[in-house]
Amino acid sequence: MLLAKVMGSVWAIQKEKGMENIKLLIVQPINLLREPIGTHLVAMDRIGAGVGEFVLITQGSPAQKLASEKNSPIDAAIVGIIDSFEAEEVSK
């Protein structure tokens, strides 16, 4: 799983089978200091996350298993909305 921040929404009327009625959000993976890492992702959201919230995301086959259709083209999914998190500062 990855920590991420929800940056926006994606609207797509035409979607592949298995993606009907699935909300899509743009998420930015973050590090423990809440700084962006890597590139933005589009993630499936069935739990109701909103822009500005920190979330947990999963990718690959674990994300695909969350879709209702067995072979849905889902690569990332939001699996939790983070209430808070803290981490010890990492020294180099």
Report the helix count and the strand count for the chain, using DSSP H and E: 1, 5
CATH number of the structural domain spanning residue 29: 2.40.50.220
pTM for this entry:
0.86
Please tell me the distance from the alpha carbon of residue 70 to that of residue 7, in angstroms, as a whole number.
Answer: 28
Look at residue 81 and tell me if it is in a domain.
Answer: no
Task: Please indicate, yes or no, if residue 91 is contained in any of the structural domains.
Answer: no
User: What are residue 81's DSSP bridge partners?
Assistant: 55
Sign of the dihedral through C-alpha 47, 60, 22, 20: negative
With respect to residue 29, please indicate whether it lies within any of the assigned structural domains: yes
Residue 79 belongs to some domain of the structure: no
Query: How many other C-beta atoms can be found within 10 angstroms of the C-beta atom of residue 21?
Result: 7
Q: Is 76 within a domain?
A: no
Neighbours of 67 (CB within 10 A): 17
Say if 48 falls within a structural domain: yes
Residue-by-residue pLDDT tens, the chain, 92 positions: 999 999 999 999 888 887 888 899 999 999 999 999 999 999 999 999 999 999 999 998 888 778 767 777 888 999 999 999 888 876 66
pLDDT for the residue 74: 84
Q: Residue 55 sits in which domain range?
A: 2-13+21-68
Q: How many domains does the chain have?
A: 1
